[in-house]
Amino acid sequence: MRAPHDVIERAKKLREELNYHAYRYYVLNDPIITDEEYDRMLKELQELEKKYPELITPDSPTQRIGAKPLNGFEQVIHSSRLYSLDNTYSEEELKGFDRRIKKLLNVEQLDYVCELKIDGLSVTLRYEEGILVLGATRGDGTVGENVTKNIRTIKSIPLRLRKPLTIEIRGEVYLPKSEFKKINDERAEQELPLFANPRNAAAGTLRQLDPKEVAKRNLDAFFYQIVSPENYELETQWEVLQFLKEIGMKTEPHARLVSDISEVIEFWKEWSESRNNLDYAIDGLVVKVNRIEFQNKLGYTAKSPRWAIAFKFPAEQARTKLLDVTFQVGRTGVITPVAELEPVKLAGTIVKRATLHNFDYIRDRDIRIGDTVIVEKAGEIIPQIVKPIAETRSGKEKVIEPPSSCPVCGGKVGKAKEDEVALRCLNPACPAKTERRILLFVSRNAMDINGLGEKMIKRLVHSGLVKSPADLYKLTPFDLAQLGNGIGEKTIRNFYKELEKSRKRPLHKLLAGLGIPGVGVKLARDLAEHFKTLDALQNATIDQLLEVPGIGLELAKNIVEFFNLPEIKEEIEHLKKEVNTSERSSKKEELLKGKKFVLTGTLKNFTRKEAEELIVSLGGKVSSSVSKNTDFVVVGENPGSKFQKAKALNVKTINEEEFIKLIREGEKNDIS
């Protein structure tokens, strides 16, 4: 059955409106409708396209996600080479660059465009008559990989330009720091290897074979180059940036046009000091001759353009001594090596410990106890050892060997799968694994059993009273009293009060506490809202799980595998007798419903993740950027540029005490 004319027109109007509002939200950061209004229009379009598949067009916002996983990437031969840049860390070398090209051009004065150098992954996009037809990686500069399906999931990249142009555009795909932190927090929770930095995470994400997995990572992009700009009557790089904005492409907002190399150096100094205030990693400036006529005259060397140079920031690294290596055992038994360091100041903080990721990482870099090492904050977030300085060795350094048995229980160690990097304790009764599982289960974002801290859990596990989360509900006052040492009548009474509260928690809290591989707080809520009951989720097929937004094939398989484990089945049967297993929201869980929050600076009482998840658990939303539609900006110590933007837009700002008061007093507060 063909679609009637009025339906065709309605679908066209919906596509245009949705693409326009996506442009306002993701490119301009200035939405003019609510998320609910956008979602309502998107759902209407999805229903029309489902009923009349011939209405689906390449620029439909419904086509961003949903492509089937790929078997591999096709090669793409670039229309013109993607060159790499020469770089310098030296003001004198930059001045030499200026003198050299002025001499080649026989001019006394030159305008430059300074652009922040995004630490991401270079891509090229082709549009035909305004429609996105190809997205490819840089590759070796001549041949890249076709990643169009993955590019389409990046919401800031338009599927249709604001002008019907046939054009090739180049830029940088990156992972925002806030998303990088969320991903690594979730990977740490699931005891998966952490990404070293946002750039590696972005590159790994863009090469995922399943577009649904790519969509979950919330990649972003900036664009800065047009192939053959003369074809569009553009005479300068500054005009190129303005033209890109006009046609709907996102550009880095801090670019500056300058008329002297001393202004370039001043701009570089400004951003050397304030780069950490951005939500994306930058490692310097890209300095470009502004006039395209001059660019064409200067041309290229074998590797780089003569008309541009990367003026890089000093790396935030430090030298220190690796004193020892300790081993941590996580909830699933993963054994993580941790470097114990001679304290060193790095990026404004004192660093005493750093991740060594896994034993392959140690072996590949030949890191030894006693080495002088280079340590850095990956993406300005996670301290990690980059490499040892082998030249400083005395011969007394010790090779770091993986433990032959579990450092906690003495049980066997090995790899759960042949292709796995992580070494694990294979003893299912390892107390370290049990402690971590219980800690997750009782945490604020899960069953929220207040007062049950790490020390108490350790005592319960080592006494043999608790071997799984379900055992918490079987504890008697006599059991607790036997622990002695500060476990008095008041402590016992408070414990049972909190335990009783936890029995009524909604399903998403229980799911967040079970430790399902790949399922964090947000996805736990999505699963609970989709399946409504624990029974329905337990019995869900892979196809049914794939219906949940954000779940790809690999994650769906992991969830099914988790619920089929005999020990998990047994544990869930016990939990079903003790706690609520259906999804229902309380008044408290809708306290912040519809409110949009942005966090900036360091909070004293919460980690960034805890604050974000608390807001989400109360029905609010958290964004990484401030817009007119932001309701509150929560300001911690040393706030970044988001604080200034909030003041400029007259968005309400609250400090941490006011944020806590807002949560505690609930409806007594005026949060309208």
Is 9 annotated to bind a ligand? Reply is no
Q: Which residue has the tokens 């998966």?
A: 192
Is 661 annotated to bind a ligand? Reply is no
Structural contact between residues 583 and 536, judged by C-beta atoms closer than 8 angstroms: no
Is 631 annotated to bind a ligand? Reply is no
Structural contact between residues 578 and 503, judged by C-beta atoms closer than 8 angstroms: yes
State the Rg of the chain over Cα.
Answer: 27
Q: Which of 219, 115, 222, 208 is nearest to 176 (CA)?
A: 219
> Which residues neighbour 149 within 8 Å (Cβ) at sequence distance 6 or greater?
67, 70, 211
Cα(477)–Cα(458) distance, rounded to whole angstroms? 18
Structural contact between residues 598 and 646, judged by C-beta atoms closer than 8 angstroms: yes
Per DSSP, what are the bridge partners of residue 621?
A: 596
Active site residue 117: yes
Structural contact between residues 433 and 440, judged by C-beta atoms closer than 8 angstroms: no
Q: Is 277 exposed, middle or buried (0-12, 13-18, 19+ CB in 10 A)?
A: middle
Residue 477 is which amino acid?
P
CA distances from 299 to 89, 291, 302, 309, 441 (A): 23, 13, 10, 13, 61
Is 85 annotated to bind a ligand? Reply is yes
Alpha helices (runs of H) in 248-340, residue ranges in sequence order? 261-274, 292-298
Handedness of CA 513, 515, 516, 519 (dihedral sign): positive
The rounded Cα 262 to chain-centroid distance in angstroms is 36
Q: Which residue has the tokens 């736990």?
A: 524
- Exposed e or buried b per residue across 296-335, where buried means at least 16 C-beta atoms within 10 angstroms of its C-beta: eebeeeeeebbbbbbbbbeeeebebebeebebebbbbbbb
Cα(52)–Cα(239) distance, rounded to whole angstroms? 42
Cα(60)–Cα(48) distance, rounded to whole angstroms? 12
Is 70 annotated to bind a ligand? Reply is no
- Please provide the size of the chain in residues: 672
Cα(388)–Cα(369) distance, rounded to whole angstroms? 10
End-to-end CA distance of the chain: 48
The rounded Cα 657 to chain-centroid distance in angstroms is 27
Cα(432)–Cα(333) distance, rounded to whole angstroms? 8
Structural contact between residues 151 and 190, judged by C-beta atoms closer than 8 angstroms: no
Cα(204)–Cα(226) distance, rounded to whole angstroms? 26
Three-state SS string over 542-597 comes to HHHHCCCCCCCHHHHHHHHHHHHCHHHHHHHHHHHCCCCCECCCCCHHHCCCCCEE
Cα(661)–Cα(174) distance, rounded to whole angstroms? 36
Is 312 annotated to bind a ligand? Reply is yes
Structural contact between residues 8 and 27, judged by C-beta atoms closer than 8 angstroms: no
In the set 12, 95, 102, 117, the catalytic residue is 117
Is 138 annotated to bind a ligand? Reply is yes
Per DSSP, what are the bridge partners of residue 350?
A: 345
Is 64 annotated to bind a ligand? Reply is no
Per DSSP, what are the bridge partners of residue 143?
A: 77
Is 36 annotated to bind a ligand? Reply is yes
> Which residues neighbour 500 within 8 Å (Cβ) at sequence distance 6 or greater?
none
Is 467 annotated to bind a ligand? Reply is no
Cα(414)–Cα(404) distance, rounded to whole angstroms? 9
Binding residues: 35-39, 84-85, 115, 138, 172, 288, 312, 406, 409, 425, 430
Binding residues for Zn(2+): 406, 409, 425, 430
Which are the catalytic amino acids? 117
Binding residues for NAD(+): 35-39, 84-85, 115, 138, 172, 288, 312
